[in-house]
A and B are shown apart, each in its own frame.
Chain A
């Protein structure tokens, strides 16, 4: 149960396109590992006769992108008359380049604790009071804004007359 960016090799480590593909594959493997049960349930903690297993919700998102391009064309300065006279030889060039990038993140949030003792097994939920309070305040604020809007005489008249 970890939280933070998905581990990827640093750009300085990737100098070869084949290495970049390997890095992407490795990162994808790490990402797919997120769906494993072991990422949801933490290491069991033995305390006397009691075994405690933490359980968390894990959310992971990742994305990659890559691009490649090439082109050719004449080079040189057309305004320079001397150069036009002197350069009778071919003055064309071509080039290509590519690049890629990606990013990802994992989030983990405790959900419950499983307590196993000689008396039996029970599940104790983890309640995030801060999140609940934030949701309540957001809802209350939204409701207050809606009521204020409805009670505003200008807005009510505008809505009724359609002007």
Chain B
């Protein structure tokens, strides 16, 4: 399996004195010997350049994905806690049943 993770810069877009350079990150997955594969391309950041040479990097956050992953994380955490509590209480209850 060939996995390539690359960050590409696009063509600079000029607005007034300002230059904006978009950055994108692509993940390529390709199985050798098989034609085809998967490409996941997403925006990473934009670089804003001022005429005096100052650069400002503005990261692009995928809020929807972050919230979705957060929900998944919370759910997994709660399930793990419940499972651990049950695992801890199981021998005590088993003893009570036997007695």
Q: A98 CA to B53 CA in the complex, in Å?
A: 61
Mask: chain B, 75-93; 1 = CB below 8 Å from A; 0 = not = 1001100100010001001
A148 close to B (CB within 8 Å): no
Partner of A51, one of B9, B13, B79, B94: B13
Interface members, chain A 24-51 (any B CB < 8 Å): 24, 28, 31-32, 34-41, 44, 46, 49, 51
Q: Assuming A41-B43, A131-B64, is B22 touching A55 (CB within 8 A)?
A: yes
* Distance, CA A127 to CA B64, complexed state (A): 5
| Closest residue on chain B to residue A112 by CB atoms | B60
Interface residues contributed by chain B, number (CB under 8 Å) = 48
* Bound: A60/B28 CA distance, A: 10
Q: Are A40 and B36 in contact (CB under 8 A)?
A: no
Chain A residue contacts of B9, Cβ below 8 A: 37
B13 touches A53 (CB 8 A): yes
Measured between alpha carbons, how far is A6 from B34 in the docked complex, in Å?
18
Q: Number of contact residues on A: which range applies?
A: 35 or more
B33-87 residues with Cβ-Cβ distance < 8 A to A are 34-43, 46, 48, 56, 58-64, 67-68, 71-72, 74-75, 78-79, 82, 86
Q: Which A residues are CB-close (under 8 A) to B37?
A: 31, 61-63
A32–B22 CA distance with the chains assembled, in angstroms: 19
Known: A39-B41, A60-B38, A104-B36. A126 touches B13 (CB 8 A): no
- In angstroms, Cα B8 to Cα A41, docked, is 12
Complex CA–CA separation, A37 to B38 (angstroms): 16
Say how far B94's CB is from chain A's closest CB, in angstroms. 6
Chain B residues with CB below 8 A from A139, complex form: 71-72, 74-75
User: Do residues A35 and B26 form an inter-chain contact, with CB atoms below 8 A?
Assistant: yes
A132 to B63, CA, bound (A): 10
Say whether, besides A146-B82, A150-B86, A57 and B13 are in contact (CB < 8 Å).
Answer: no
Q: How far is the CA of A62 from the CA of B58 in the complex (A)?
A: 32
Interface residues of B, Cβ cutoff 8 Å to A = 6, 8-10, 13, 15-16, 18, 20, 22-24, 26, 28, 34-43, 46, 48, 56, 58-64, 67-68, 71-72, 74-75, 78-79, 82, 86, 90, 93-94, 97
Contacts beyond the supplied A63-B35, A132-B64: 14 A-B pairs with Cβ under 8 Å? A37-B8, A51-B20, A62-B38, A63-B34, A63-B36, A111-B64, A116-B20, A123-B60, A125-B61, A125-B62, A127-B64, A128-B64, A146-B82, A160-B94
